[in-house]
């Protein structure tokens, strides 16, 4: 009897949680309460293994996932052990996970390219506008490459070329350098 796969082409919830929406990294724009938009582009090394990419995403989201595990561990252990042990066990679990992920991702974290800028709306300098334009351009290049790959307009090789171009561009010195006045767009750590 022939077995057919019933999996859909779109990744499921677990795959999206572990692997993210994009293989090359993340692009996001957030506007916190102060109303100052923050632009962030994270690009992984081209050709990164899926397992390394998942570990990097887990490292990045460890405060959320580890915190959830912390409370679950403390709750479950509280039914079995007396007062100080549930808290100590949960702290140990959280710190062990943090340390293990830090060790496993150390090499790949050094290769990740990240550019974060915020715009206070008073960008008068050319350096400010150029840094923001570069970030937007690279983000749009990667998102468009994903859409083109999904629709079949480009091949995996062309997608990898776009990814590599963005990675190389972010590796150049001077990308997103703080404006001399220190008031406009700033590169965040």
pLDDT value at 11 more than 80: no
Per-residue pLDDT tens over the stretch 135-159: 889 999 999 999 999 999 999 999 9
**What is the pTM assigned to this prediction?**
0.75
Q: How many CB atoms lie within 10 A of CB 89?
A: 18
Convert the pLDDT of each residue in 32-74 to its tens digit: 877 778 888 999 999 999 999 999 999 989 999 999 999 999 9
DSSP 69-95: HHHHHHHHHHTTS-THHHHHHHHHHHH
Q: How far apart are CA 40 and CA 37, in angstroms?
A: 10
Q: Is 64 helix (H, G, I), strand (E, B) or coil?
A: helix
- Asked if the model's pLDDT at residue 163 lies above 70, the reply is yes
Chain position carrying tokens 């549930």: 86
Coil/strand/helix, residue 131: helix
Average pLDDT, the chain: 81
Burial class (CB in 10 A: 0-12, 13-18, 19+), 181: exposed
Quote the pLDDT of residue 126: 61
Alpha-carbon distance values, 187 to 31, 41, 115, 116, 176 (Å):
16, 11, 7, 6, 6
Which three-class secondary structure state does DSSP give residue 61?
coil
């Amino acid at each position: 009897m022939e077995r057919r796969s019933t999996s859909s082409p779109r990744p499921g919830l677990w795959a999206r949680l572990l692997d993210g929406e994009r293989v090359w990294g993340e692009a996001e724009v957030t506007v916190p309460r102060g109303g100052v938009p923050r632009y962030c582009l994270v690009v992984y090394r081209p050709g990164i293994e899926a397992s390394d990419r998942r570990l990097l995403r887990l490292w990045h989201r460890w405060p959320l996932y580890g915190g959830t595990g912390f409370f679950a561990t403390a709750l479950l252990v509280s039914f079995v052990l007396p007062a100080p042990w549930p808290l100590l066990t949960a702290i140990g679990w959280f710190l062990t996970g943090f340390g293990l992920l830090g060790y496993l991702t150390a090499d790949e974290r050094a290769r990740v390219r990240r550019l974060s800028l915020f715009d206070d709306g008073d960008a008068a300098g050319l350096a400010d506008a150029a840094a923001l334009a570069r970030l937007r351009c690279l983000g749009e290049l990667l998102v468009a490459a994903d859409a083109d790959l999904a629709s079949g307009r480009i091949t995996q090789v062309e997608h990898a070329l776009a990814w590599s171009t963005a990675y190389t561009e972010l590796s150049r010195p001077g990308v997103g350098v703080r404006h001399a006045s220190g008031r406009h767009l700033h590169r965040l750590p």
